[in-house]
């Protein structure tokens, strides 16, 4: 039997660890799939790591990785994949919003020879209108940039060993798992699932962290914002030509434009355009700087190995 590693990033999920381990374990046992569960404690401030240690003592299927601080879900997923031993690896949320029954379905597709099995959200679960509008716009931009339809993408996936190794070889610090798993290609298919309600705890994403997540990922997958700067420049140039001609004609006809208002408006308009453009370019530069420094994506301070035999 081939081993399935289930990577579960967890940040402040003390209430969910044993429940997740039990639920996932029971479903995979019933389906007669050999598995290990790799919990990645993303520098939680509560007792998540103690819970992982406790569960690992009772259950040989559990392995754990503990970060030295909170590095974010993207890093946690990468660390989980790097420490997974399975011939295929799945990634799912700790809050069981990704139904574990779907894992079995994904595993069967993997057995049929698919190498990347994407979980696609049939419905997005409960969300506020503003949230879904923002998420919609973000995914439209990302889909355009990566030329992959991402409107229903999620982090719930099952990957073959080959695909996992390809992902792990990518050197970038700002990884974007959802898009990268599609970017690598391989023989892929998808499975639909319904997003479940979170039973314990609360969502770890604040509005601020979501905006940051969106910006980072747009920048890492698209140079569109910089091209918009160029287009804005061309637009302003045409306006300059028209206004310039008008001004000169008036000057030579003997009545120069007396437009203090025009001058103020022009300075304000062009000034703000320049500053916005600098901001866009500055953001790219800061991301380049982060990548160039080449710091590790995460630091591991503790580790537990699972004891499953293949
Ligand atoms: N998560 C993480 N690090 C973080 C934030 C979240 O590992 O900095 C994990 C979290 O424990 C959960 C998953 O990512 O397993 C999804 O988080 P959450 O349920 O809060 O997000 P939502 O479902 O609201 O999108
Ligand atoms: Mg959740």
Residue 93 Cα, ligand 1 centroid: separation in angstroms?
Answer: 7
Residue 71 Cα, ligand 2 centroid: separation in angstroms?
Answer: 17
Residue 170 Cα, ligand 2 centroid: separation in angstroms?
Answer: 26
pLDDT at 56 over 90: no
Per-residue pLDDT band at 179 (split at 50, 70, 90): confident
Residue 119 Cα, ligand 2 centroid: separation in angstroms?
Answer: 14
* pLDDT at residue 234, as a whole number: 92
Secondary structure, 3-state, the chain: CCCEEEEEEECCCCCCHHHHHHHHHHHHHHCCCCEEEEEEECCCCCCHHHHHHHHHHHCCCEEEEEECCCCCHHHHHHHHHHCCCCCEEEECCCCCCCCCHHHHHHHHHHHCCCCEEEEEEEECCCCCHHHHHHHHHHHHHHHHHHCCCCCCEEEEEEEEHHHHHHHHHCCCCCCCHHHHHHHCCCCEEEEEEECCCCCCCCCCCCHHHHHHHHHHHHHHHCCHHHHHHHHHHHHHHHHHHHHHHHHHHHHHCCCCCCCHHHHHHHHHHHHHHHHHHHHHHHHHHHHHHHHHHCCCCCCEEEEECCCCCC
What number does the ligand 1 atom closest to the CA of 92 have?
15
pLDDT digit string, tens, across residues 253-308: 887 767 788 888 889 988 988 998 999 899 999 989 988 998 888 999 888 877 77
For all residues of the chain together, what is the average pLDDT? Answer: 86
Residue ranges lining ligand 1, Cβ < 6 Å: 9-11, 13, 42, 70, 72-73, 76, 93-95, 97, 203-205
Ligand 1 pocket check: which of 11, 38, 47, 195 to mutate, most ligand atoms within 8 Å of Cβ?
11
Ligand 1 pocket check: which of 73, 119, 127 to mutate, most ligand atoms within 8 Å of Cβ?
73
């Amino acid at each position: 039997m081939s081993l399935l590693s289930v990577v579960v990033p967890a940040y402040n999920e003390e209430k969910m660890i044993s429940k997740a381990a039990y639920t996932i374990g029971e479903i995979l046992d019933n389906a007669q799939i050999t598995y290990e569960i790799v919990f990645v404690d993303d520098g939680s401030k509560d007792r998540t790591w103690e819970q992982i240690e406790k569960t690992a003592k009772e259950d040989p299927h559990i392995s754990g990785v503990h970060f030295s601080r909170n590095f974010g879900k993207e890093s946690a997923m990468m660390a989980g994949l790097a420490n997974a031993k399975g011939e295929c690896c799945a990634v799912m949320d700790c809050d069981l919003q990704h139904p574990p029954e779907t894992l079995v379905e994904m595993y069967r597709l993997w057995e049929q020879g698919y190498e990347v099995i994407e979980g696609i959200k049939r419905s997005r679960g409960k969300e506020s209108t503003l949230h879904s509008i923002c998420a919609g716009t973000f995914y439209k931009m990302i889909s355009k940039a990566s030329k992959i339809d991402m409107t229903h993408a999620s982090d719930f996936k099952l990957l073959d060993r080959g695909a996992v190794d390809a992902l792990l070889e990518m050197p970038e610090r700002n990884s974007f798992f959802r898009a990268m798993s599609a970017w690598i290609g391989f023989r892929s298919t998808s499975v639909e699932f319904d997003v479940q309600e979170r039973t314990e705890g609360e969502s770890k994403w604040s509005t601020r962290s979501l905006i940051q997540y969106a910006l980072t990922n747009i920048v890492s997958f698209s140079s569109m914002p910089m091209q918009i700067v160029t287009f804005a420049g061309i637009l302003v140039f045409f306006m300059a030509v028209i206004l310039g001609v008008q001004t000169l004609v008036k000057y030579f006809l003997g009545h120069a434009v007396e437009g203090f208002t025009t001058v103020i408006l022009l300075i304000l308009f062009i000034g703000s355009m320049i500053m916005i453009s600098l901001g866009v370019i500055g953001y790219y530069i800061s991301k380049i700087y982060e990548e160039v420094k080449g710091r590790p994506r995460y630091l591991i301070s503790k580790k537990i190995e699972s004891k499953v035999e293949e």
